[in-house]
A and B are shown apart, each in its own frame.
Chain A
Amino acid sequence: EVQLAQSGAEVKKSGESLKISCKSSGYSFSNYWIGWVRQMPGKGLEWMGIIYPGDSDTRYSPSFQGQITISVDKSISTAYLQWSNLKASDTAMYYCARHPSGYDRSPFDYWGQGTLVTVSS
């Protein structure tokens, strides 16, 4: 069974750094693109970026380029989303989600449960 298990809720201050995780199981992690989606409180879904664990090929939305870093650790089937300088506007729920193939032009078929990040000023 495919599962994406995300790390727990975080409360941080502006200017701090943060790395949240998404541990995959039930499939061959290296062979499927995995991405991150932001949902600000009461708002819609925003596509942030994706990564191919096999070779760490990464694609970012221009809206998030330079603000976040997406990475993986293949040895533990885990994807990461990190910030080096959090802002209050980063307060949101963050979802990881998997593409159903090695082709990045595909929808997200499995989703993590979400990680709530709260940043206070």
Chain B
Amino acid sequence: EIVLTQSPGTLSLSPGERATLSCRASQSVSSNYLAWYQQKPGQAPRLLIFGASNRATGIPDRFSGTGSGTDFTLTISRLEPEDFAVYYCQQYGSSPPRTFGQGTKVDIK
């Protein structure tokens, strides 16, 4: 089972600032099959990024994903008020389970 470790646990930033979230895998993620999701309180997760760097339909271009192998990054270039949420990475390249990271909370400073 691939273990995904996200850091930091909490990121306290102000609107307009840049957010950089990390996701590190315990072994290489096959074909860079790594996704990022956003979850707001009381809502289901929403797909942001798939294949490590591809934005899902309707996702603003201030969200970008980079990385390969075991190290992946989600960057939000300029935080909007609606971006304050919890972010999860998920690998879907290995045999089940298709594990999630433990999440990074982006909150308002």
Contacts and interface: CB of A to CB of B under 8 A. Distances in A.
Do A and B interact with each other, yes or no?
yes
A113 B98 CA distance: 21
Contact of A47 (B39, B46, B100): B100
- Tell me the interface secondary structure of chain B in the complex: loop
A53 interface: no
Nearest to A63: B97
Contacts of A105: 30-31, 33, 92-93
Interface residues of B, number: 25
B96 A45 contact: no
A45 B100 contact: yes
Interface of B: 1, 30-31, 33, 35, 37, 39, 44-47, 50, 56, 88, 90, 92-93, 96-103
Interface in A46-60: 46-47, 49-50, 59-60
28 contacts: A37-B100, A44-B88, A44-B103, A45-B37, A45-B39, A45-B103, A47-B90, A47-B96, A47-B98, A47-B99, A47-B100, A50-B98, A62-B1, A62-B96, A62-B97, A63-B97, A95-B45, A97-B45, A105-B33, A106-B33, A106-B50, A106-B92, A107-B35, A107-B47, A108-B45, A109-B56, A111-B44, A113-B44
